[in-house]
Amino acid sequence: MIARSWSRPSVPAGCRIGAVALAALVLAVAPSSPAGAAPSDQPGGTTGVLDSRALDRLQQRAAEVQEDLRAQQADVVAAREAQAEARRAVEEAQAVLADAEGELSVHQREVASYAAAVYRDRGALTPLTLLLGGGDPADVLAGLGFLEAVDAHAAEIIGVAESFRRASLDEAARARAALDEASARAAEVDARVAELESAADAVTAELDEALEVVDGQLAALQQEQVDVNERTAANWRAYVEQLATAGLAALPAADLRAPERALPERLVPVASARGGAQPGAAQLPGQPSSLLVLPAETVTAVSGAMEALGRPYAPGTAGPDAWDCGTLVQSVYGQAGISLPGTQGELFAVTTPVEPADVLPGDLVFLGTGESGLGHVGLALDPGTMLAADGRAGAVVVRKLPGDQVLGIGRPSLPQRPAADVPGPAGGALRMECGNTVYPPSYDGARSWGGYPNGLIPPSAMCPLGVAGHSLRCDAAAAYRALSAAYAAQFGGPICITDSYRTYSSQVRLFGEKPALAAVPGTSNHGWGLAVDLCGGIQTFGTPQYAWMVANAGRFGFLHPTWADQGNGREEPWHWEYAGT
């Protein structure tokens, strides 16, 4: 629920407020607006598909077709390879046959030339002509021997050449038969794939129809989120005005750090859950409620965070157009004069902790689990609400604070503690950053997010890249825009892009065109909105543009997968994937 104000019940001056009164001292949470304006259970209201049995059934059908296509893909590749090998054999056999026929032709020409020469010498050379025209008997005998030798040699040469030619004809025939067999098998595989493509098309049409309904529901949730953000910001501004009216908007943090010893005039302590007074805050007694007094640094920081609401989340960015959770906290407190580190781990290590029950606006909320360790940091707004650059929502949002995931509460307005150990992943779990799983560069599994099927992500859950209708998951889109800006600074223009998010139906079409090369529909990283195909020089290994991407893309969370590297069999220099930082 959204805090309506940051006022407190009236407490007599100097009175010590017990722990039992704490619930009355935290932020009021009943909004005057419709209940639908409350924060979603899902961060940003954009990361889960509404429960739909029809959609579940369609997804199951899509999965079945997908598995059939995956099974057939191996046959497609094998059939294409056999067909290509048979074609090569035919070409080689035809080349050998051509050589044999050429050799036979040469020998036949030589014999023909011999015969023509004899004809020019007054007729064919025969034993009779030698006897009639011969002189010395020894010359006649020598001529007869020469004639026999020439005839035998010519017959032998022509016979060998003819045998070689016939063997080549047989080999060519066998090669053509193998090609016909391979072609027939390829045709059968193509027919099976065509049947599966038809089934995929039918499922796709139904899925697209269901997706349109889900997208409308999602758009409503997103508008709800906008309302939540706006209402929260308005409530915060009203609170700041209350402080200013009371002349308490500029109290430095140092004046509120030791409330048990001294506080500015008119102020009394805020009770701690364990008894005593909370450091770093006070309250102004009044009727009908007391007013919570926070340090000026905290007020400035939270006000700055309110200005960032709705901006995209992108790992490794530090504003003003996109943020990650650590840099958002660092920036807003830095504007207030409090220097903080820029990562969630470093923030956890040095921020002075307070009891979770003592949480106040501006405190840092550290979220995580025993398995994944620390995974998120944001600013508390009340005991049930936080503001954060959220990786799953893809934006700076107001969201519910999941009490079962709170690893600790820290108060930046207090002096920093000596660095403490940071809870890390256990048992091989993947690390979390700003509420989102961080995949290693070598990761090649399905990066499902938000509960959406691959290629069936509602358009409302995606963010534009600002180029020709291309879009990606919002954090990937923000990271891409930052990457493209850095690229433009080097090369004078933005990155050239040919493909980004790929719908299920477009994956089906591409698989039909290139079944041996394209990913099976429902498995492409393009279908998760986490991959791009690039051009403008990047599509070629060894160019300055490609070299720049190799050196710099990782800073923005993009990588070139190892399977697409040069020398790995399936070379795609143009294909880059977003894996976070």
How confident is the model over 350-407, as pLDDT tens digits? 999 999 999 999 999 999 998 899 999 999 999 989 999 988 777 899 988 888 999 9
Q: Which of 252-266, 534-548, 552-566 has the highest mean pLDDT?
A: 534-548
> Rounded to whole angstroms, how far apart are CA atoms 261 and 283?
15
Check which CATH number belongs to the domain holding 468 and give it: 3.30.1380.10
More confident residue, 51 or 435: 435
In a domain, 42, yes or no: no
Which range among 128-137, 362-371, 524-533 shows the weakest confidence by mean pLDDT?
Answer: 128-137
Residues 371, 455, single domain; the answer is no
Number of folded domains that form the chain? 3
* pTM strictly above 0.75: no
More confident residue, 526 or 98: 526
Single out the residue in 218, 252, 275 at which a domain terminates.
218
- Alpha-carbon distances, residue 505 vs 59, 257, 522 (angstroms): 13, 60, 9
Check which CATH number belongs to the domain holding 345 and give it: 3.90.1720.10
- Looking at residue 104, its pLDDT comes to 56
**Measured CA angle at 379 (ends 373, 383), to 5 deg:** 90
Residues 450, 465, single domain; the answer is yes
Residues 309, 390, single domain; the answer is yes
In a domain, 103, yes or no: yes
- Looking at residue 101, its pLDDT comes to 62
> Rounded to whole angstroms, how far apart are CA atoms 382 and 369?
21
Edge-to-edge order in the sheet of strand 496-499:
496-499, 531-535, 575-578, 558-559
Single out the residue in 218, 241, 260 at which a domain terminates.
218
More confident residue, 299 or 517: 299
Residues 447, 420, single domain; the answer is no
Q: Which residues touch 346 (CB under 8 Å, ≥6 apart)?
A: 326
Residues 92, 196, single domain; the answer is yes
What rounded mean pLDDT belongs to the chain? Answer: 76
In a domain, 116, yes or no: yes
Residues 547, 459, single domain; the answer is yes
Single out the residue in 404, 438, 472 at which a domain terminates.
438
> What mean pLDDT comes out for the span 417-442?
84
Indicate the Cα dihedral angle 193, 197, 200, 205, nearest 10°: -170
- Looking at residue 411, its pLDDT comes to 98
> What mean pLDDT comes out for the span 504-525?
71
> What range defines the domain where residue 65 resides?
53-218
More confident residue, 145 or 41: 145
Residues 515, 427, single domain; the answer is no
Instruction: Give the whole-number percent of the chain exceeding pLDDT 90.
Output: 35
Residue 285's pLDDT band (cuts 50, 70, 90): very high
Residues 337, 192, single domain; the answer is no
Q: Which residues touch 234 (CB under 8 Å, ≥6 apart)?
A: none
In a domain, 28, yes or no: no
More confident residue, 134 or 552: 552
- Looking at residue 184, its pLDDT comes to 75
Strands 289-293 and 531-535: unpaired
Q: Which residues touch 358 (CB under 8 Å, ≥6 apart)?
A: 22, 272, 273, 278, 409
Residue 255 has pLDDT above 90, yes or no: yes
- Please report where in the chains the tokens 């995931």 appear, as a residue: 405
- Please report where in the chains the tokens 């104000």 appear, as a residue: 5
Residue 480 has pLDDT above 50, yes or no: yes
Residue 286 has pLDDT above 80, yes or no: yes
Residues 372, 473, single domain; the answer is no
Q: Which of 229-233, 387-391, 489-493 has the highest mean pLDDT?
A: 489-493
DSSP code for 52: -
> Rounded to whole angstroms, how far apart are CA atoms 381 and 273?
18
In a domain, 33, yes or no: no
Which range among 23-32, 37-46, 104-113, 339-348 shows the weakest confidence by mean pLDDT?
Answer: 23-32
Residues 74, 172, single domain; the answer is yes
- Looking at residue 22, its pLDDT comes to 26
In a domain, 329, yes or no: yes
Nearest of 394, 425, 422 to residue 557 by alpha carbon: 394
CB 215 within 8 A of CB 207: no
Amino acid at 16: R
Residues 69, 80, single domain; the answer is yes
- Looking at residue 181, its pLDDT comes to 76
Residue 5 has pLDDT above 50, yes or no: no
**Measured CA angle at 31 (ends 26, 36), to 5 deg:** 125
In a domain, 259, yes or no: no
- Looking at residue 478, its pLDDT comes to 83
Which range among 243-247, 510-514, 558-562 shows the weakest confidence by mean pLDDT?
Answer: 510-514
Residues constituting the chain = 581
In a domain, 18, yes or no: no
